[in-house]
């Protein structure tokens, strides 16, 4: 919700006449800050027999904007054997979504995409 300010202005002519008017001013935060992801913890290697749900990274997200512009959504490529789980308000875990097969894929490059709810989103 935007802060609301109330101003009262008075206009006078050269004589004794004057008029007052009340102005309500609402400030709207523009979407000028991109979301920021901080990796707070990461596991560099994981055994291929680790069960699904094994945590491989912890992330913290932040956006300095307010309202919808400050609400961040994270996503991963659907083709990866990983998923995001929200831990706390601004914290997420990257976890395995299925067992890994070292012989099929030796290494994964995981990109986490962050977008905010602003228009246009950043």
Give me the tens of pLDDT residue by residue for the chain, a chain 122 residues long: 567 889 899 888 888 888 999 988 877 778 888 899 999 999 988 988 899 999 999 999 998 888 888 889 999 988 999 999 998 889 999 999 999 999 999 899 999 999 988 877 76
Please state, in angstroms and as integers, the Cα–Cα distance from residue 9 to each residue in 24, 37, 49, following that order: 11, 45, 72
The DSSP code for 102 is T
pLDDT at residue 29, as a whole number: 74
Residues 6+ apart with CB under 8 A from 85: 92, 93, 95
Q: Regarding beta strands 55-62 and 4-12, do their DSSP bridges make them parallel or antiparallel, or are they unpaired?
A: unpaired
Which pLDDT belongs to residue 43?
92
List of domains in the chain? 36-100+108-116 (2.60.40.60)
Contact 63, 116 (CB under 8 A): yes
Global confidence as pTM: 0.73
């Amino acid at each position: 919700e935007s802060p609301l300010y109330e101003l009262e202005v008075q206009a006078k002519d050269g004589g004794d006449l004057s008029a007052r008017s009340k102005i309500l001013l609402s400030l709207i935060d523009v979407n000028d800050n991109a979301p920021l992801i901080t990796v707070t913890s990461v596991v560099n290697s994981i055994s291929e027999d680790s069960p699904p749900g094994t945590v491989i990274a912890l992330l913290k997200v932040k956006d300095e904007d307010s309202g919808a512009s400050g609400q961040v959504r994270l996503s991963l490529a659907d083709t990866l054997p990983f998923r995001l789980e929200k831990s706390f308000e601004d914290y997420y875990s990257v976890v395995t979504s299925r067992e890994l097969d070292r012989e099929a894929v030796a290494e994964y490059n995981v990109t986490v995409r962050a977008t905010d709810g602003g228009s246009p989103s950043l």
